[in-house]
Chains A and B, each alone.
Chain A
Amino acid sequence: MIFTMAWRNIWRNKMRSLVIMFSITVGLFAGIDILALYRGMINARIRTVIDAEVGHLQIHDARFTQDYDPKFIVSNGPEALYAIRKLPAVKAAAARSVSFGMLATATGSSGVQINGILLEQENELSQLDKKITEGNLLNNARKNEVLIGKKLAKKMKLKCRSKLVLTFTDTTGGIVSGAFRVAGIYQSANAPLDERNVYIRMVDMNSLLNIGASFHEIAVLLKKDDALPSTQRSLEQLLPRYKIENWKEISPETDLLVKTTNQLSFILMAIIMLALAFGIINTMLMAILERTREIGMMVALGTTKIKIFLMVLLETTFLTLAGAPLGILIGWMLTEYYAKHGLDLSGMGREMMSSFGYSTTIYPEFPSDKFVGVLLIVFATAIVSSLLPAKKALQLQPVQALRR
């Protein structure tokens, strides 16, 4: 009977109950979709970091990472690269010669990281060929060509076939320079990265550095993300003399971003639930206030406090849970739709998104097991929200309540 009464009570003021149910529906689907969007953005950022920037793992001489002195090459690099490529978990591995120097034109200069690459390996690892927006990829047959990022090209007013000079230190500490011609302009999802990275053929770079066929870095891309810890352990055993870092160690700002976003998601959900809880509490307090006499009469007739509490609790729960399934359903449907088709945020500004390292097309993601968590949070909100109205109801003295 208490169950029936609780259910019917929420429909006594249909408009009021529908408004609160609607707000729960909107709050939930908005919350789920915002969290899914955040998660999608973070996943896209991680994918960019892994697939197009640093790979899953990087191998260096430990001394090289201290001040990037080009004399600290990966000793026995070609053998190490061969051994790494043989590992079953490895999808691709690319060698890079790296130096930091200056890009100069007739009108200005800019500090850059110069990457000497082997084209096939780099295309396999970071899909450099897919990022070319103007001009061409480097040509193995052409000497002293360079690929520059779009942002750097804009900043330095460079176009395809423009001339520039790259200056950096060699292994002896001497300054070396080379004149290069822009073969192509690339654009990745990370504009700051585009501004400071230029790519030349490894052979051109190594001849200036005078390091022969050696290199400074091996970037490794794995077939599966979850193979990272085990592969890192295997490589540490296989190549004990090298420093082996995963993407979280190489790009700690991305790892921090993931952790911060996770915390932000909890805070956002808590804020939504808190806002909903106030709405529910307000509605229930009004309902209790309107029914003071009726509740007093029920107590007078012999309804125990537990049953009064149960009635208020059930009413609050029904009110909350009635709007929840629709909110979760809409949230799930929208997430699924955009997870397949992608949400194009280019209207918000491609450059702005890119300047933060995000792609403009986001694929929202909300794991299905999290929906159970959302339901539990909603249920907990209902329970907490019922406490104050229930306390008010229990405090009613039948004699005073009946006088009203």
Chain B
Amino acid sequence: MYMNTVIDAHNISKVYNPKTIPVYAINQVHLHLERGEFTAVVGPSGSGKTTLLNMIGGLDKPQQGNIINNDVDITKLSSNELINFRLKHIGFVFQSFNLIPVLTAKENIEFIMQLQNTRKEIRERRVEKLLKEIGLEDKRNVRPSKLSGGQQQRVAVARALASKPQFVLADEPTANLDSTSAANLLDLMARLNKEEDITFLFSTHDQRVIERARRVITLVDGKVASDTSPISTERAQTLQT
């Protein structure tokens, strides 16, 4: 299960204000993620969690180092190639849900598959399955403004998983959720991680997420301070239950 490399980041660095007062958001970080991991990146505010996720997701480029995915160095891709790369390989879950307000729950989940020109029957099947998985079958035609925060984040997770990406990057996915919603969301992601074998990488402050992660990478001042990888399968099963 853990033998296929999904992400291989070598010696990546991101510096802001390099010519005046350099601030290292990420400083010579190495990161190796295997298929099916359920990993949390933790650390205090400003430690570089979001920057690391952005670079792995091809939203931002490091000034130094390489990020290899499927034998492709994504740091060498043009902005258009990166858009295509993200569309094919990555699912995103954002802290503030970021659903498209003019689309219904069903259409939001379908959105990525539409961009990928997936056939309608396949789209319909996948959306129905995911709506069932997230327990929002009766809200399929409801727009995000009529959904609770927890429901919106479940739709966001379903959207991220709709096209069966290689990995999902989730930036503080539980930050705006109450305890029950956060627990339900974590259950959902853990189940999908297990059932669909999709790699999850979170950035989080949330202890509830950290407790459920099978690997925890701690960042301090842009450097990896600790990496508890990988946790035992028994512990993971215990955490999931």
Interface residues of A (CB under 8 A from B): 1, 4-5, 8-9, 12, 293-294, 297-305, 307, 398-399, 402
* In the bound complex, CA of A299 to CA of B60 (Å): 12
Which of B75-103 touch A at CB < 8 Å? 80, 83-84, 86-88, 92, 94, 98, 100-103
Residues B114 and A300 in contact, CB atoms below 8 Å apart: no
Residues A302 and B107 in contact, CB atoms below 8 Å apart: no
B41 at the A interface (CB under 8 A): no
Determine which of B80, B98, B107, B116 lies in contact with A297 in the assembled complex, contact meaning CB atoms within 8 Å.
B98
* In the bound complex, CA of A402 to CA of B59 (Å): 10
**Chain B residue contacts of A304, Cβ below 8 A:** 80, 83-84, 115
- 5 pairs of A and B residues whose beta carbons are closest in the complex: A302-B87, A8-B102, A297-B98, A1-B114, A302-B86
Question: Contacts A300-B92, A305-B83 given; 7 further ones with Cβ under 8 A?
Answer: A1-B110, A4-B103, A8-B103, A294-B98, A302-B112, A302-B116, A304-B115
**Chain B residue contacts of A300, Cβ below 8 A:** 57, 59, 86, 92
Q: Given known contacts A300-B86, A301-B86, is B98 in contact with A398 (CB within 8 Å)?
A: no
**Chain A residue contacts of B100, Cβ below 8 A:** 5, 294, 297-298
Q: Say how far B202's CB is from chain A's closest CB, in angstroms.
A: 16
Residues A12 and B80 in contact, CB atoms below 8 Å apart: no
* In the bound complex, CA of A399 to CA of B169 (Å): 14
B69 at the A interface (CB under 8 A): no
**Chain B residue contacts of A1, Cβ below 8 A:** 103, 107, 110-111, 114-115
Residues A302 and B98 in contact, CB atoms below 8 Å apart: no
**Chain A residue contacts of B60, Cβ below 8 A:** 399
Residues B112 and A5 in contact, CB atoms below 8 Å apart: no
Q: Say how far B169's CB is from chain A's closest CB, in angstroms.
A: 10
* In the bound complex, CA of A301 to CA of B165 (Å): 11
**Chain A residue contacts of B94, Cβ below 8 A:** 297, 402
> Whose C-beta in chain B lies nearest to the C-beta of A303?
B115
Q: Give 27 A-B contacts (CB < 8 Å), ordered by A residue.
A: A1-B103, A1-B107, A1-B110, A4-B102, A4-B107, A5-B103, A8-B103, A9-B102, A12-B101, A294-B100, A294-B101, A297-B92, A297-B94, A300-B59, A301-B86, A301-B92, A301-B112, A301-B115, A301-B159, A302-B83, A302-B115, A303-B87, A304-B83, A304-B115, A305-B80, A399-B54, A402-B59
**Chain B residue contacts of A307, Cβ below 8 A:** 115
> Whose C-beta in chain B lies nearest to the C-beta of A2?
B114
**Chain B residue contacts of A4, Cβ below 8 A:** 102-103, 107
> Whose C-beta in chain B lies nearest to the C-beta of A401?
B59
> Whose C-beta in chain A lies nearest to the C-beta of B91?
A301
* In the bound complex, CA of A399 to CA of B110 (Å): 23
Q: Say how far B80's CB is from chain A's closest CB, in angstroms.
A: 7
**Chain A residue contacts of B59, Cβ below 8 A:** 300, 398-399, 402
**Chain B residue contacts of A398, Cβ below 8 A:** 59
**Chain B residue contacts of A305, Cβ below 8 A:** 80, 83
Residues B102 and A302 in contact, CB atoms below 8 Å apart: no
* In the bound complex, CA of A8 to CA of B223 (Å): 45
* In the bound complex, CA of A301 to CA of B203 (Å): 18
* In the bound complex, CA of A8 to CA of B102 (Å): 6
* In the bound complex, CA of A333 to CA of B114 (Å): 43
Q: Given known contacts A1-B114, A297-B94, is B103 in contact with A302 (CB within 8 Å)?
A: no
* In the bound complex, CA of A4 to CA of B104 (Å): 11
**Chain A residue contacts of B111, Cβ below 8 A:** 1, 301
* In the bound complex, CA of A303 to CA of B80 (Å): 10
* In the bound complex, CA of A304 to CA of B88 (Å): 12
**Chain B residue contacts of A298, Cβ below 8 A:** 100
